């Protein structure tokens, strides 16, 4: 990265793009930079991640409020499943520790 008091930051990314004045380089900013750097290029819009139907425009992350709600429900369900899996692992470890302790007590008698 090259910095100057009079010029904005100049960042060179692994993709070979040079971005001016960006302190971070996200996936969205890389797409924007590619669009700006390739005039006349054919742009392929990504479909909605939920319904896979209409292409997204600009900064959209879902095509409609219904798709945003569904995506949120899916994320909540995944988080809930992850928490349940963690609890299951902890319960199994606790059960194994209790059984090991009971065996030690039985052997000590």
pLDDT in tens, 17-72: 555 554 554 555 555 555 555 555 555 678 888 898 888 888 888 888 999 999 99
Backbone angles phi, psi at 81, to 5 degrees: -65, -40
List C-alpha distances in Å: 108 to 44, 95, 101, 104, 105.
Answer: 72, 20, 11, 6, 5
Position with higher pLDDT, 103 vs 53: 103
pLDDT given for residue 45 in this prediction: 75
């Amino acid at each position: 990265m090259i910095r100057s008091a009079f010029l904005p930051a100049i960042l060179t990314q692994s993709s070979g793009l040079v971005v001016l004045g960006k302190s971070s380089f996200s996936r969205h900013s890389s797409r924007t930079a590619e669009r700006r750097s390739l005039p006349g290029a054919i742009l392929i819009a990504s479909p909605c991640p939920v319904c896979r139907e209409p292409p997204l425009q600009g900064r959209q992350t879902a095509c409609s409020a219904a798709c945003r709600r569904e995506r949120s429900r899916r994320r909540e369900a995944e988080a809930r499943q992850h928490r349940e899996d963690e609890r299951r692992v902890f319960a199994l470890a606790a059960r194994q520790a209790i059984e090991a302790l009971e065996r030690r007590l039985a052997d000590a008698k």
